[in-house]
């Protein structure tokens, strides 16, 4: 009876058909007609054997696709076991090694949902973030994956601050932020070239207020100097140049901003009431 119950649990569709047939035949022949004979369904394999076979395919054979099959078989044959928990995480990692990022994300999310208190939950969350991160597109394309990567990496850093994954996540976060800032700069330059100075300012403002620690901020301040000077808003042009010079005195972008203001007969001068000045004071750079 135990073997029968296990077989039905593994294949509920077959179990339903079997029960329907038994009801049709009645009680006659119960002892001679065994739908669940041992030669019809293979017995369950030991979970540790399946797991170790998966590790062998993954590490020795470098065949993550075959490894996934073994790890998923553990979950199918031995659900809710400790081996199933381990196998779910290893399946996620195997998918990551294959470059099957959506499958990795799905398996890792399932792991976090089922085992949030596990010591390996941090690694599962990191796999989610790394999968999004590895799909960051070219800067000319939509940055939805970059946004998702940044959010997932931030979750690693916030939830698991004392793990090795948090340090790696923080490094990747800086790359993701720089990518998002670069996208804003690309659009801002497009507006600037079309002399849509207001549209350009709005994009450069995002870089200055949200992505101050990225390498894009120097150019953003110089571009703001250009835009405000073109609009005749000299006070803000002077402030952008002054903040740029204060924080990045050796920058080539500051040299350009300084020359632009100087050519207008002015000097870089910070208006502390300006949003530019307030933004940098809030970060402690101004």
Domain ranges of the chain: 1-43, 44-123, 179-283
**Long-range contacts of residues 183-187, Cβ cutoff 8 Å, at least 24 apart:** 183/139, 183/143, 183/146, 184/211, 184/216, 184/220, 185/216, 185/219, 185/220, 185/223, 186/139, 186/140
Q: What is the pLDDT of residue 280?
A: 86
Q: What is the pLDDT of residue 59?
A: 94
Q: Is the confidence at residue 247, as pLDDT, over 80?
A: yes
Burial class (CB in 10 A: 0-12, 13-18, 19+), 37: exposed
Of 135, 130, 136, 132, which is closest to residue 169 (Cα–Cα)? 130
Alpha helix locations (H) across the chain? 2-10, 12-25, 47-55, 64-77, 82-98, 101-114, 121-133, 144-159, 164-193, 197-210, 217-231, 234-247, 252-263, 275-283
For residues 197-221, average pLDDT: 97
Q: pLDDT digit string (tens) for 38-62? A: 445 456 889 999 999 999 999 999 9
CATH topology of domain 179-283: 1.25.40
Average pLDDT value over all residues in the chain? 87
Q: Is the confidence at residue 15, as pLDDT, over 90?
A: no
Q: Is the confidence at residue 17, as pLDDT, over 50?
A: no
CB-CB contact of 111 with 88 (8 Å): yes
- Which residue has better confidence, 26 or 79? 79
CATH 1.25.40.10 fits 44-123, yes or no: yes
What pTM did the predictor assign? 0.79
* CA quadruple 163, 216, 201, 176: dihedral sign: negative
* CA quadruple 107, 108, 113, 116: dihedral sign: positive
The structure tokens listed for 212 are: 């101050």
For residues 3-31, average pLDDT: 36
Query: If pLDDT is split at 50, 70 and 90, which confidence band does 74 have?
Result: very high
Of 259, 180, 270, which is closest to residue 226 (Cα–Cα)? 259
The reply to whether domains 44-123 and 179-283 share a CATH topology is yes
Q: pLDDT digit string (tens) for 111-144? A: 999 999 999 999 999 999 999 999 999 999 999 9
For residues 12-41, average pLDDT: 39
- Which residue has better confidence, 89 or 44? 89
């Amino acid at each position: 009876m135990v073997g029968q119950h296990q077989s039905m649990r593994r294949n509920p569709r077959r179990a339903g058909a079997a029960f329907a047939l038994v009801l049709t035949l009645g009680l006659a022949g119960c002892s001679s007609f065994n739908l669940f004979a041992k030669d019809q369904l293979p017995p369950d394999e030991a979970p540790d054997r399946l797991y170790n076979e998966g590790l062998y395919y993954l590490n020795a054979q470098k065949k993550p696709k075959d490894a996934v099959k073994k790890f998923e078989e553990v979950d199918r044959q031995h659900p809710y076991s400790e081996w199933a928990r381990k196998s779910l995480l290893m399946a996620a990692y195997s998918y990551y090694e294959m470059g099957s990022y959506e499958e990795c994300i799905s398996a890792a999310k399932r792991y976090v949902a089922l085992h949030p208190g596990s010591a390996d939950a941090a690694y599962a969350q990191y796999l989610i973030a790394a999968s999004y991160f590895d799909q960051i597109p070219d800067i000319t394309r939509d940055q939805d994956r970059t946004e998702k990567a940044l959010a997932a990496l931030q979750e690693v850093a916030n939830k698991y601050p004392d793990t090795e994954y948090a340090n790696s996540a923080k490094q990747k976060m800086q790359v993701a932020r720089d990518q998002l800032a670069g996208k804003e700069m690309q659009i801002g330059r497009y507006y600037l070239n079309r002399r849509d100075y207001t549209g350009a300012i709005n994009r450069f403002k995002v870089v200055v207020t949200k992505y101050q620690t990225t390498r894009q901020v120097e150019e953003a301040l110089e571009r703001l100097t250009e835009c405000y000077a073109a609009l005749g808003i000299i006070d803000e042009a002077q402030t952008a140049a002054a903040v740029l010079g204060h924080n990045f005195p050796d920058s080539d972008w500051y040299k350009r901003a300084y020359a632009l203001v100087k050519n207008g007969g002015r000097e870089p001068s910070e208006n502390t009431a300006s949003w530019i000045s307030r933004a940098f004071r809030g970060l402690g750079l101004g």
